[in-house]
Amino acid sequence: MIKEIITGSPQETFSVGEKVAVLLKGGETILLTGDLGAGKTMFVKGIASGLGVDPLTPVVSPTFTLINLYKARIDIVHADLYRLDPEGIFGLGIEEYMDNSHIIMVEWADISEGYFKGNLLRIKIEYLEQNRRKIILGGNIIREENWR
Ligand code: ADP
Ligand code: MG
């Protein structure tokens, strides 16, 4: 199913992430797309909060490391393909975490679109106005009954 949500602030996007976190069982790969500043990292922060990452743990795109790992109810792997070539994904070591005890979250996932398999949740964030974004969620875990 595809669900579209308009958010009017960063906090609202964070809250959508928290809401999606409740639906996660482990083993999902969340593919985030959207321009720079769309709110992909904000959404990852919401998921991290929803899964119980320690609030003191900084949730930011990996820069000096290839991936970030956050301990939580289900451990989170955070990758960002910005500035990587399509083959760059193979050097991150994500495969090692493709199991039911991890959630993999990838910003700029469209760069290596063909790489991802399994239980995918696609999240596209579109810039509408300064504080308004459209979040488009698509995947098996997105069901109408979860949004009432
Ligand atoms: P990305 O990871 O997609 O490059 P970030 O999450 O790092 O984007 O940054 C999004 C920026 O947009 C932040 O500065 C945030 O405060 C701002 N912002 C404004 N409105 C929203 C909104 N509705 N949802 C998410 N971010 C928003
Ligand atoms: Mg980002």
For 63-115, what is each residue's pLDDT tens digit? 888 999 999 999 999 999 998 999 999 999 999 999 999 999 999 999 999 99
The pLDDT mean for the chain works out to 96
Q: Decide: 11 in ligand 1 pocket, CB within 6 A.
A: no
Nearest ligand 1 atom to alpha carbon 7: 23
Closest residue by Cα to residue 146 from 57, 31, 38, 18: 18
Contact assessment for residue 25 and residue 101, using Cβ atoms and an 8 Å cutoff: no
- In this structure, which residues have their CB less than 5 angstroms from ion ligand 2? 40-41, 61, 107
CA dist 114 and 86 (Å) reads 9
Q: Global pTM?
A: 0.97
CA dist 44 and 76 (Å) reads 10
**Distance set, CA 11 to CA 2, 59, 81, 82 (Å):** 22, 15, 24, 24
Q: Decide: 46 in ligand 1 pocket, CB within 6 A.
A: no
